[in-house]
Chains A and B, each alone.
Chain A
Amino acid sequence: MDINLQIKSLLSEAELYRSQGLFSEAKDKYHAASAMIHKIDRLKNKDSLLKAISGKIQSLEEKTAKVETGPGSPELSKKGQNLIKSLFGENDMQQAVALAKFGQFERAIVELTALLKDDVYRVDAGKNIIRCKMAIASVDDAIDQYNQWYSGDLFTVSQLETIRTYLQPILDKKGIDKPLPVPVNERAELNATADSGGIEFSMPEPEEEILDISSIGITFTSGSQKGKMVEFDVNFQSGKMLSLIISKNDKGLIDDLKDGDELEEIQFYSPIAMFKGMAVIASKTQIKTGPKQGDFCLDLKITST
């Protein structure tokens, strides 16, 4: 091909890639064109051509930098946030967590704080508030928050202990040497001071470390659904107990399940890992009142992972 035509086609390619936001591809073509121009001895406007191309390359570099340093997760409008809530969460807790997952931490904290009032959600809301604080502010903010809860009376001792056993390993891992005060119940405290001989007092059993599980996939090994895997969201978790709310419309999926059944093939999904395990059905009940009336609550106890 005629060298002039080659240069022309390289330049038009570069221009197209630029217009489509393919900056590094555009730059490559401009460099190739410029190398070719350099090699031609007698070209009328060689210098001005080369200058124009290097200007284009420069502007591409600026654009690339802008894209690369673009905000990771900007604060969205309230409308955008509401959309995220409705698209990515079914209950209040999931909606608040969805906000956090999309980096809308401020609003997530507001909603999670409201959920602290609810006994069912309190611990999970607390943990997620800690998570959000670490994401937007600092570990110190998270520690302050814990201490504030520690001196208040919103949480029961065992609830607060769950939060402590969540936060402390994070601090340890970051090499932050700040032991969080361990919640103890007043009785134990009294005993301890009365008996200064140094008798060990009972502490709440720290819950065995189990990951937060966001959803599970159950593969049915018998019954009408045999061989199928069905995914369910976990609505609430406390240690090894998982509660799933299953819509009455999906009743067919769980018809074959009854209390005490072993589920041998479960896939657990958590935000940081996936693993297989087994669980037993602790209870299956139909919700009698409230907005979820008619839906089913399925409690599972994880037996092995």
Chain B
Amino acid sequence: MAIFNLKKREIECKIVYYGPGRCGKTTNLEYIFKSYKKQVTGEMVSINTEGDRTLFFDFLPMGLGKIKDCDIRVQLYTVPGQIKYSSTRKLVLRGVDGIVFVADSLEVRRQKNMISLKDLQTNLKEYGKSIFKIPLVIQHNKRDLADEGIPLMTIEQMERDLNRQLKVPSFPGSAVKGTGVGVTLKACLMETLKSLQREFKWAK
């Protein structure tokens, strides 16, 4: 849960990048770390295992400066996508304020996207949260691979698979190239701050 210090007018919120293994969550954070030097307030920490797969989480602290006279700090996390790290995913999700679901556009990963979204729903539920209510945005990642003739799903198909009921903001992206990374994060932060405003009325 977001930490408020209304007297000092500070808010710290937690954004988690979720999605199937190898979809590009860590790559998103790496790009943010490289490109938003002004907003990044500390080192990016990655705890990895064999083959650069995330083992526990990646962590990146950011500061957005003042919004409505309130100092906004953000902690970005990724979860490990590999199926077997289910309990770690749940641990990292604890107290989350907003989520970026990174979907893999590769046709061969269609099923994995859906399984991961379902897993997200289950884990949120265990914390008493609803996937329909939590601030959430979707990124359709790896769109750059279309140019290399690799079979990708169309955006329409991915929206049908993942976003038919949720109807959350979604963006095409290429985390390696950096396209769509910023807008995705910004949209997620907007949704999150809006929701925290509804709940806690921090911006007077």
How distant is A97 from chain B, measured CB to nearest CB, in Å? Answer: 11
A228 and B195 CA atoms in complex are apart in Å by: 13
Whether, in the assembled complex, A194 has its beta carbon less than 8 Å from a beta carbon of chain B, the answer is: no
Which residue of the partner chain, among B51, B52, B148, contacts A16 with CB atoms under 8 Å?
Answer: B148
Contact with B along A50-76 (1 / 0, CB 8 A): 000000000000010011001101101
B22–A16 touching, CB < 8 Å: no
A249–B106 touching, CB < 8 Å: no
Interface residues on B, range: 35 or more
Whether, in the assembled complex, B190 has its beta carbon less than 8 Å from a beta carbon of chain A, the answer is: no
What residue in chain A is nearest B5 (Cβ atoms)?
Answer: A249
Which residue of the partner chain, among B21, B47, B49, B108, contacts A80 with CB atoms under 8 Å?
Answer: B47
B22–A21 touching, CB < 8 Å: yes
Whether, in the assembled complex, A35 has its beta carbon less than 8 Å from a beta carbon of chain B, the answer is: no
A-B contact count (CB 8 A): 77
A76 and B46 CA atoms in complex are apart in Å by: 11
B51–A21 touching, CB < 8 Å: yes
Whether, in the assembled complex, B91 has its beta carbon less than 8 Å from a beta carbon of chain A, the answer is: yes
Given known pairs A101-B91, A217-B128, A269-B128, the reply for A16 and B50 (CB within 8 Å) is no
What residue in chain A is nearest B6 (Cβ atoms)?
Answer: A249
A12–B149 touching, CB < 8 Å: yes
Whether, in the assembled complex, B150 has its beta carbon less than 8 Å from a beta carbon of chain A, the answer is: yes
Interface residues on A, range: 35 or more
How distant is A196 from chain B, measured CB to nearest CB, in Å? Answer: 52
Residues of B within 8 A of A (CB): 1, 3-7, 21-22, 45, 47, 49-53, 55-56, 59, 75, 82, 88, 91, 94-95, 106, 108-109, 126-128, 145, 148-151, 199
Of the A-B pairs whose beta carbons lie under 8 Å apart in the complex, a sample of 18, sorted by A's number, is A9-B149, A12-B150, A17-B106, A17-B108, A21-B21, A22-B109, A28-B108, A63-B51, A66-B50, A67-B82, A70-B49, A71-B49, A87-B75, A88-B94, A101-B91, A217-B128, A250-B4, A267-B128
